[in-house]
Structure 1
Amino acid sequence: MAVSVAAYGARVGLETFILVSASLPPEKLNPIAIYNPILIKVDGDYGKLYFDSLEIGKQNNIYFINSDVPFRVEGSKTIAFEICEQMNFEVPGYVVVPTSSGGNIRGILKGFEEFRLCGLINKVPKMICAQASGCSPIYNAYSSHAEVMSPVENPHTIAHAIENPYPPSGNEVLRRIKENRGTCVAVTDEETLQAQKQLAKIGIFG
């Protein structure tokens, strides 16, 4: 999301601040930096950064476009809409969503539900919340039948985009997955790399 925020900020001429984890590798930073935002690397708990940003925003009258703000969730509905359109409104049985903070999967599920309410589709797919095994707080709670998740200590995965030890929408995702009769899975780094190779063989970047 940092790339798109930086790009839109450049497009409309806004001074844009991007906060990222200090451990983010250069190949992830370069696509952000090319839009010339004010890029701030933050040490410490990346999950806590979300809550810190809300407090900073309140004190300085700044609107932070975080992962589960209402506009972001509403925007993610369009993923569901596009899936429906591309499949001629014959929706799949399952939709797998790599999940970090939880706003994306919430929006996709909401999109399917709204299309069903409109009568455009006749069912809502079961959602599969996919997390990296090195940082899987939602999966951990789901697999242990817990009602709420616990933070992951010392997260470690090559899937940096979904490496959030304490997702702000995690408990909501847990509740919605159960209502939807979906499931959660945790994927190892080795499985992630293998899946990338398999997708590359058919021309899909993953």
Structure 2
Amino acid sequence: METTDAYDGLECVDCGARFDPEEGTHRCDDCGGILDPTYDYDAVDLDRETLAARPFDSMWRYEELLPFAREAAVTMDEGATPLVECPDLADELGVGRVLIKDEGRNPTGTFKDRGQTVATTAAVGHGASDVALASAGNAGQAAAAYAGRADLDAHVFLPARAGFTTKAMVNVHGGDLTVVGGRIGDAGAAYEEAVEEHDDWYPVQTFVTPYRHEGKKTMLYEIVEQLDWEVPDAIVYPTGGGVGLVGMHKGATEFRDLGLIDEVPALYAAQATGCAPIVDAFEAGRDVHEPVEHPDTICGGIEIPDPGASPWILEALRESDGGAVATDDDEILDAAIAVAEREGIEMAPTCAAAASGAWELADRGEFDGDETVVLLNTGAGNKEADVLRSHLMGQGI
């Protein structure tokens, strides 16, 4: 396995146990906790001038702060997505600037590619022949795509409610697709049963592999560099499992500790009211969520009733002086359509929770009026155009 100079292993976020990157692959052997890649930051030689001299062509331009060398990566030049100025939205929210980080421009149309490029690179480095995961949809498509590029077999478990596009593209990329009746929990149970029967399958499941959140921290790196090293006042993120939120908080902390930025942006988790375990826990002052017994939202990508990393997510929100907000499905779909109409950017229904959440935060008086607010559009709107069109038809349009 070809690792970078500063990468020095994996650390359990629960018990602190440490593992060599050659041997550690997934959860902690001691307590079953989530593993997080760690670095010798004294060995990281990276400054603004060095980055300015590099092409803005891929998230792997930050390889000093990633586990694996760029030349070893299974990559399709993911990342380097645009940060789009949205003046009309800024006027509506009553803030100085609103920008949308448009992750729909990634190879398979979502930010899931950032996690899968690193996770698949790890799988290749560990000699895997097969990767496997359960997903609400987009991560399964990304896993199949990167597995195909790496000449691995992908086994993807999706709930029946996953969109047609993601189901179809798993097959198009050569993946072995299992559609499971019910919701994401049912797909997860089928995946776990299959993994028990196939010990040669290499899991690339959220927070089972240590590497998906590691890839997503590069969104933060890009945002601050695209803002000429000015840290945004707030980043609003559509939150299900919270992988990108945890990753961005880690990325901001790394950049701050390396002296590249002076502060960490306030991070806000945006959820749907029909499935808002992080919002409920944050507002109640709890350190861990309570599972949602009957989730009910059309936003399947954030319908995660039992997010396993909630203590880590809540810690990121509080340490960054951010918050959490939930809005109704109709408000989320209205926000997706409003962004498309006024700014031209296509947000998938799930992703538009960030826009709807930002409007709600503004209505609550969370912003003073001169802030720079970044919304994460985690996936392209054409992934679920039928949902948005149906919403318009329901309004007689």
With normalisation by structure 2, the TM-score equals 0.49
CA 1:23–1:48 in 2, change beyond 3 Å: closer, same or farther? closer
State the match for 2:140 in structure 1.
Answer: 2
Q: Is the 8 A contact 1:116 1:124 kept in 2?
A: yes
Question: For the residues of structure 1 that align with 2:338 and 2:346, how far apart are their CA atoms?
Answer: 10
CA 1:46–1:161 in 2, change beyond 3 Å: closer, same or farther? same
Q: Does 1:112 align with 2:255?
A: no
Q: Does 1:62 align with 2:218?
A: no
**Partner secondary structure for residue 292 of structure 2:** coil
Question: For the residues of structure 1 that align with 2:141 and 2:165, how far apart are their CA atoms?
Answer: 12
Question: For the residues of structure 2 that align with 1:107 and 1:57, how far apart are their CA atoms?
Answer: 26
- Aligned residues with identical type, % of pairs: 34
State the match for 1:189 in structure 2.
Answer: 329
Q: Does 1:103 align with 2:243?
A: yes
Structure having the higher Rg = 2
State the match for 2:262 in structure 1.
Answer: 122
**Residues 66-77 of structure 1 correspond to what in structure 2 (within 5 A)?**
66-68=205-207, 69-77=209-217
1:135 corresponds to which letter in structure 2? C
43-52 or 15-24, larger mean C-alpha shift: 43-52
With normalisation by structure 1, the TM-score equals 0.91
Q: What is the aligned-residue RMSD (CA, Å)?
A: 2.0
State the match for 2:350 in structure 1.
Answer: none
Q: What are structure 1's unaligned runs of at least 5 residues? A: none
Question: For the residues of structure 2 that align with 1:88 and 1:110, how far apart are their CA atoms?
Answer: 20
Question: For the residues of structure 1 that align with 2:296 and 2:288, how far apart are their CA atoms?
Answer: 22
**Partner secondary structure for residue 16 of structure 1:** strand
Q: Is the 8 A contact 1:134 1:156 kept in 2?
A: yes
The alpha carbon displacement at 1:162 in A equals: 1.0
CA 1:56–1:39 in 2, change beyond 3 Å: closer, same or farther? closer
Q: Is the 8 A contact 2:157 2:188 kept in 1?
A: no
State the match for 1:39 in structure 2.
Answer: 177
Q: Does 1:140 align with 2:269?
A: no
Q: Is the 8 A contact 1:102 1:168 kept in 2?
A: no
Question: For the residues of structure 2 that align with 1:50 and 1:10, how far apart are their CA atoms?
Answer: 22
| Pairs aligned (count) | 206
Which protein is richer in helix relative to its size?
A: 1
State the match for 1:203 in structure 2.
Answer: 344
Q: Is the 8 A contact 1:48 1:166 kept in 2?
A: no
